[in-house]
Amino acid sequence: MSNYTDHTDHPDREPEDVNEETVQAPQPDEPEEESMQPENSAPARPPRRSAAKAVTIILLALIAIAALAITLFGKRDGPLPTWQELYELAGFTEAPETHADQLAVHFIDVGQGDGILIQTPTGETVVIDAGERGNEKKMISYIKQYGDDTLEYVVATHPHSDHIGSLDNVIAAFTVRNVVMPRLTQINTPTHSFYKDLLTAVKKSGAKMISAKPCYTIPLGRGQCTVLSPSVQSEKLNDMSVVLRLDWGETSFLFMGDAGVAVEKQLLNGKYAGYLDADVLKVGHHGSGTSSSAMFLKAVDPRFGVISCGAGNDYGHPHKGTMDKLTKLGTTVLRTDTMGSIRIYSDGRQMYTETDNG
Ligand SMILES: [Zn+2]
């Protein structure tokens, strides 16, 4: 079952659920019937008082909307507000019939782990992580269902099995152009077989291997992904996570991998300090209490917080403290353990969410 939720850019950050099938947006192009009466037709009876009253109320409402629009849009440079903007002011939204011309970010339900697919309308495809070993079949069929056979970029955030366990098989199933991963040293290179399998798969694929460094950008047509971290070596592999920011028009996403509070602190004090606010936060480390400090969440101030974790997982993810902090900020939390795979679409201005389980 699919749940479709349409979110406007309302400043109070409490998006309303809008049922696509039941909302009837006003039709601006349909002139009022009365104005279409030909002048030479038989004189119509004077409208009844109640009808006149209704027309007055509608006119007053339209004037109020127009006045509000002029107030809000009058100061900015550029064209007059569109009908879509006027609809939004009046509390209506029109759900698009298709997401074909929008950015799509999929948070695939891979149980306890991360598996993310990014698709642009012009066909660029990026995969970030692929979940534990055993998820390859699901990841491959999901990507093929929504994407295509070529992955321009695969990002392996850090070599823990809940992120890269299935990535070797995913890489083998597609044409992969580039693989981005953190450069490790003797102090933090794992000896697990799944890491070796990943490196072997990358080598076999012929993809270009890119070590993730701050400022590195992945071009995505009308938008781009920027690597924000890691900037320093750490013995903790979680803190070696590739942290990515995706900008698409006026909308933005922040993908934290499993980065913890030490990385958050570096980001808050580093050159990206003013570049952390984002509409969507892939919450660090599955909502664990070792990530998501209050100060960091405040800086990001996300409208949506996505938590990718498994139902009844052994780690108690997400942590209650993290949930409380997000609730306090007014962030809408989307969880793969309860909602299944989550899709967030962006037209550069508005965002639309869709989940498998509602
Ligand atoms: Zn993890």
- Domain edges within the chain: 103-355
Residue 129 Cα to ligand 1 midpoint, Å, equals 10
Q: How many Cβ atoms sit within 10 Å of the Cβ of residue 157? A: 29
Q: CATH number for 103-355: choose from 3.60.15.10, 3.30.70.1890, 3.30.360.10, 3.40.140.10.
A: 3.60.15.10
Residue 28 Cα to ligand 1 midpoint, Å, equals 49
User: Tokens 């006003």 map to which residue?
Assistant: 26
Report the greatest alpha carbon distance in the chain: 93
Please choose, from the candidates 243, 319, 247, the residue with its C-alpha nearest in 3D space to the C-alpha of residue 278.
Answer: 247
CA distance 38 to 36: 6
Q: pLDDT digit string (tens) for 82-123?
A: 655 655 565 444 556 688 899 999 999 999 999 999 999 999
Residue 29 Cα to ligand 1 midpoint, Å, equals 51
Determine the average pLDDT of the residues in 44-62.
56
Residue 7 Cα to ligand 1 midpoint, Å, equals 29
What per-residue confidence (pLDDT) applies to 68?
61
Q: pLDDT digit string (tens) for 253-306?
A: 999 999 999 999 999 999 999 999 999 999 999 999 999 999 999 999 999 999
- 342 token code pair: 């989550």
Residue 136 Cα to ligand 1 midpoint, Å, equals 16
Beta bridge partners of 248: 251
Residue 131 Cα to ligand 1 midpoint, Å, equals 8
What per-residue confidence (pLDDT) applies to 100?
86
Determine the average pLDDT of the residues in 6-12.
42
Q: pLDDT digit string (tens) for 179-212?
A: 999 999 999 999 999 999 999 999 999 999 999 9
Which residues neighbour ligand 1 (ion) by CB within 5 Å?
162, 258
pLDDT grade for 41, boundaries at 50, 70 and 90: very low
CA distance 236 to 238: 5
What per-residue confidence (pLDDT) applies to 73?
52
